[in-house]
Amino acid sequence: MKEHKEKKNNWFRNMGDALHMELREHRSSFIVYFTLRLLVIVMMILQLMNRNYENVFLCILTLVLLVAPSFIQVTFKVELPTVLEIIILLFIFSAEILGEISEFYLMFPFWDTVLHTLNGFLMAAIGFSMVDLLNRSERIKFNLSPIFVTIVAFCFSMTIGVLWEFFEFGMDQIAGYDMQKDTVIHTIRSVTLDPQGRNVPYVISGITETAVNGTELELGGYLDIGLIDTMQDLIVNFIGAFLFSVIGFFFVKNRGKGGVVRWLVPRRKQADRDFLRIAEERALAEMREKPEKELPEKEEQESPENSSGHIEQDRGNVADQN
């Protein structure tokens, strides 16, 4: 039990050292990370003073997510290009701090659209890199065509987009949130409203007022409950994924000569940049040096006893001679 606990502590210590080295590897991304982290901490303090504990949790979650790119690089031994890492950091900050806490989603209607488009683009880049790394692996023999790599990247991005919409729907239904934002519309079509009960859409157009239980909502139209928002998110995710997939196709076809994609596609780490291995080797070297440093201390601690023993022995020898 004690040995298991010690191994666990060593792993956390080595991971912490590796993350510290990873964060400081590229100066530009570290400056962005440090600035965003400082802003999040300031925001967390303000929310704590206002006793808005839900936003405090979002700030803590953001701090964890800001370390995620470095954790992925250390754990999976991949190198994220600096441009891609900075985009991911800005995306996390824009979605959580600006979007949720600062209410940019309400202040700027395009904010959610821009982030979902960027998410589709980034997820396609990640999916593309996963297949590309396997395609270039020496241990796993793959020879995938550019079109296949492109399709996998596109499908990966769309899958992430769909899973995120599942998450939004679940949070709205289970936790009572409103992540799937409503949309005011002026026309509805529904077979449920058909007076003859047939499978024919009944159209109501020119809606300017909506009342619930006799109370006018003053929306200027009918309130859609999240369907349009969900479909818009998936459509812009599709656009972002498709855009990167096209760029990635020519990148693979031209054997990696594309300049733009090179800034966005992760690659395998070189051996001298495997910071987790470096941290483990340093810790092992310190453990080997530690007994050597402790040995002189033990000898110094035992020296008074040994000297007293020699003195008593010398006294005994003198008594015997007498």
pLDDT, tens digit (0-9, with 9 covering 90-100), for 245-276 = 988 888 777 765 656 677 777 777 777 778 88
Cα 72 from chain centre: 8
Rg (CA), the chain: 31
User: Given a cut of 90, is residue 22 above it in pLDDT?
Assistant: no
User: Could you give the CA distance from residue 210 to residue 281 in angstroms, rounded to a whole number?
Assistant: 68
Q: Quick count: other Cβ atoms within 10 Å of Cβ 55?
A: 20
59 contact partners, CB below 8 Å, separation of at least 6: 40, 41, 43, 44, 47, 96, 97, 101
User: Given a cut of 50, is residue 322 above it in pLDDT?
Assistant: no
User: Could you give the CA distance from residue 126 to residue 121 in angstroms, rounded to a whole number?
Assistant: 9
User: Could you give the CA distance from residue 156 to residue 126 in angstroms, rounded to a whole number?
Assistant: 8
User: Given a cut of 80, is residue 5 above it in pLDDT?
Assistant: no
Beta bridge partners of 189: 203
Q: Which two tokens stand for residue 217?
A: 């909502």
Amino acid at 247: I
pTM exceeds 0.85: no
User: Given a cut of 90, is residue 19 above it in pLDDT?
Assistant: no
Tell me the domain boundaries of the chain: 1-105, 109-178+226-266, 183-224
What pLDDT does residue 33 have?
A: 93
Looking up tokens 């967390």 gives 44
